[in-house]
Amino acid sequence: MAATYATSAVRIGNLTPAQPKKNSKRLGRGSGTDRGGTSTRGHKGQKARAGNGKPKPGFEGGQTPLVRLIPKRGFTNPHKQHFAPLNLDRLQFWIDQGRLDPNQPITARELYESRCIHNVRDGVKLMGDGAEHLRTPINIVVSRASRSAIAAVEKAGGSIVCRYYNATSLRALVKPHKWLAKNLPLPHFADPVSYRDLLWYSSVNNRGYLALRDRQASEPASMPETSETSSSSS
């Protein structure tokens, strides 16, 4: 049986829209139409102006809005630092699950890649909550640490160093691939410039890296043993 085909080809020119179709309004096409002149907007007023005619949120018709009647309280400190808090019980839980290697130094990069912390803005601050759960000696480097966290880490047989990072050096520490992908050298770690940061990182009680560096520099270097010194001692 021969196949039957449509006698008229389907072209762009003979396509019709789906029925029923509602015609759009044509406004402002002269006074000969029903929608000329004011274009169905009426005479003057806020709803007759250009735009959607709706005021922005908080507009109260011209009178002083409420947000300007009430005085301000407090202030926003532009120099405030936002550290990612890390508790000791969470750190021990990550070590127990094998997400962190306690035999290697733990920095903000290892904490971020293991998802122990999710946001690194100005650094990581180690908190003392859950200190009774920490039982693994670790070597950790963070931006800040509380006194209770320092005591708990050293009681478990570990060590802690508080290191200063600016925005560039912290980003290079957490995401070094941003520089390696462009064949750029990693930036050097910067030292603090503000007086408050210099005092904080120079304190031994805070385990600041400046205090530890000055202590290592002040220690006398041990003289290597030679054949002459060994013979004189004998």
Nearest of 161, 147, 169 to residue 212 by alpha carbon: 161
Is 6's pLDDT higher than 70? no
**DSSP three-state, residue 227:** helix
Amino acid at 196: R
Record the pTM: 0.65
- What pLDDT does 20 receive? 72
Peptide bond into 20 cis (omega under 30): yes
The percentage of the chain sitting over the pLDDT mark of 70, rounded to a whole number, equals 88
Q: What is the mean pLDDT of residues 73-96?
A: 94
Determine the Cα–Cα distance for residues 40 and 25; give it in Å rounded to an integer: 10
- Decide which of 3.100.10.10, 3.40.50.360, 3.40.50.620, 3.30.450.40 is the CATH code for 84-217: 3.100.10.10
Q: For residue 211, what are the CA distances in angstroms to 108, 201, 215, 223, 229?
A: 21, 7, 6, 24, 34
What secondary structure, in 3-state letters, does 29-65 show? Answer: CCCCCCCCCCCCCCCCCHHHCCCCCCCCCCCCCCCCC
- What pLDDT does 222 receive? 47
Q: Comparing 214 with 120, which gets the higher pLDDT? A: 120
Is 214's pLDDT higher than 60? yes
Per-domain residue ranges of the chain: 84-217
- What pLDDT does 213 receive? 83
Helix ranges (H only) for 97-208 are 108-113, 147-155, 167-174, 177-180, 195-201
